[in-house]
Amino acid sequence: MPGSVAHHVSRVRILYRKILQLHQGLPLELKALGDQYVKDEFRRHKSVGPEEAQRFLQEWESYAVMLWQQVNQNTQNSANQPHFGSHLSEEKLNAFRDEQIGQLQELMVEATKPKRQFDILEDTEHKS
């Protein structure tokens, strides 16, 4: 594996692990949603060209920095309602492809669903 390719793969893996680690600071439902989204996006971008790969990494690195700041801020202000995320500028929205707008819409729907409650069903069957 040539040096620059090995460096790129290492950079991607480090960023991927860092994001999943940062997700530990999210509420459970956001962590689950975020982890799945990150896994899907990194998998989806495995074979993109160098230019798109660079943009992809820059955006995810920006996300990691923003999330790190928000997790730390929310930890320090534990009395307040936690706040995560940011608004997208019109410029960024206009740069999205139709497929990305669809993904963003799906993500918004999932992220704004009421909190799911986990039902624990007791096993009433007793084995003899």
* pLDDT by 10s per residue, the chain, length 128: 566 778 888 999 999 999 999 999 988 888 998 999 999 999 999 888 889 999 999 999 999 999 999 988 877 776 677 778 777 788 888 888 888 888 888 877 877 777 655 444 544 545 44
Q: How many separate domains does the chain show?
A: 1
Q: What are the CA-CA distances from residue 59 to residues 25, 31, 65, 114, 120 (Å)?
A: 20, 19, 10, 28, 39
Residue 93 lies in a domain: no
Residue 58 lies in a domain: yes
* 9, 1 Cβ separation under 8 angstroms: yes
Residue 118 lies in a domain: no
Residue 79 lies in a domain: yes
Q: Report if pTM > 0.85.
A: no
What pLDDT is stored for residue 79 in this prediction?
67
Residue 126 lies in a domain: no
Residue 17 lies in a domain: yes
Q: What are the CA-CA distances from residue 79 to residues 24, 29, 31, 55 (Å)?
A: 19, 20, 20, 37
| C-alpha 6: how far from chain center | 24
What pLDDT is stored for residue 2 in this prediction?
60
Q: Which domain covers residue 38, as residue numbers?
A: 3-86
SS3 content of the chain, % helix, strand, coil (to 5): 70, 0, 30
What pLDDT is stored for residue 111 in this prediction?
74
Phi and psi dihedrals of 83, rounded to 5?
-130, 125
